[in-house]
Structure 1
């Protein structure tokens, strides 16, 4: 069996478990950030869930590296997976892989595939927005001179940033908060590009099939 087939089988088998691990990771992180009076024992449970989920991500990354047969080149060719391993909160950006898979498809346009990209991107935008709001709230709400004081402020800021509107009424003031802002901006652009690119690709395929070729048109037209 080729390396690509073995890697594809591994990814198919681990997609659902890693999805559950991602939700557990996000839930544990949200509890740690939002539940300020959390008992010490529960904090330990949340930290254990975070570490266990990250360990699952690391194992998946190592196995796919080994199955790829690419050696160190795997880090460069799978830069998004590497970034997600270092920052698990960015896992929603893996929807870009779905978009790339659709772009590689040839032949008859299939609305279901393109619609799936749009649906995944919408869900990923919600998840990325929620995680971005959590992260920026964690580092901003107690900072001196901060304008993001509540989680509601963080959600509002994240929505404005992801949508590339950027009202500017609230903004991060800490170095980490501004770094998170850069990540949210880049994530919003990537997801927006996946949606618009997939929709445009589907329209072009439909128009290409509906318009007759020049050599097939009747004479005199």
Structure 2
């Protein structure tokens, strides 16, 4: 089995597991009940992510190149071995969701970007809320405030009305800042590309209209040329000797006698 075949077979199952992982983490953070069950479910899904990484590396033709291009995936499955960094497992969720979305068509790219931004803000809000709630001096004490903080930070506005005070909250903030800059760059590039396409489409439409008008004028000129040529042929036919001989001569007038 090749790497593409493996990914084709595992993309949807991994996507479903990623959604379950995110739902379990959300329930654990927001509801605070069945924490043991949620933790066990997330650990089981994390093991599946590890198996997927190992198998993908084993099936890759150029293992070193694949390894270099998937360092974030490696960090997302290795660092969460330390319990305080378990939030990094959510990076794998974003990676799996992104891999299953595809980016070949602009429409898919737009959906992927919007989904990534929404997921990033939601996941970052969960992460910072889990790290900051109950911390001394923290102003992020509820999830709506965490959502507001994540949105402000991701857009690089940074009002400063709410800031993390814990080490892990600050790490989440740093990751959100860098990721937010990258995603804003993608959104800006998409908007610029869309505007350029609209201008090009309008220019092409005008060019097609001009070409159509030119073709119509050429057709009219061709028809006029054919008409003039036909008239010339008709005139030439009237001036030919055969045509003049066929025209009847008027009767001659008899001479008048001189004596009259």
With the shorter chain as reference, the TM-score category is 0.7 to 0.9
Deviation at 1:189, TM superposition (A): 2.0
Matched, 1:163 2:163: no
SS in 1 for 2:161: coil
Task: Tell me, in whole angstroms, the C-alpha distance in 1 between the residues paired with 2:190 and 2:100.
Answer: 10
5 Å-filtered alignment, 1:18-167, equals 18-36=14-32, 38=33, 42-86=34-78, 87-90=88-91, 91-92=93-94, 102=104, 113-167=105-159
Q: Once structures 1 and 2 are overlaid, which stretch shifts more, 158-167 or 197-206?
A: 197-206
Greater alpha carbon shift after TM alignment, 79-88 vs 145-154: 79-88
TM-score by length of 1: 0.76
The normalised TM-score by structure 2 is 0.65
8 A Cα contact 2:12 2:100, kept in partner = no
Who is 2:242 aligned against? Answer: none
Cα contact 2:132–2:166 (8 A) shared by 1: yes
Distance 1:79 1:114 in 2: 26
Residue pair 2:11, 2:96 contacting (<8 A) in 1 also: no
- Mapped to 1, the partners of 2:185 and 2:6 lie a distance apart of 28
- For the pair shown, the structure with the greater C-alpha radius of gyration is 2
| 8 A Cα contact 1:117 1:194, kept in partner | no
State whether residues 15 and 100 of structure 2, in contact with CA within 8 Å, keep that contact through their aligned partners in structure 1: no
Shift of 1:204: 5.4
Contact 2:18-2:97 at 8 Å conserved across structures: no
Aligned CA-pair RMSD: 2.8
CA distance in 1, matches of 2:195, 2:76: 31
Alpha-carbon spacing, 1:51–1:131, altered in 2? closer, same or farther (3 Å): same
Tell me, yes or no, if the aligned pair for 2:15 and 2:96 is still in contact at 8 Å: no
For the structure 1 residues 15 and 149, does the alpha-carbon distance in structure 2 shift closer, same or farther, using more than 3 Å as the test? same
Distance 1:99 1:205 in 2: 23
Structure 1: unaligned runs, 5 residues or longer: 103-112, 213-221
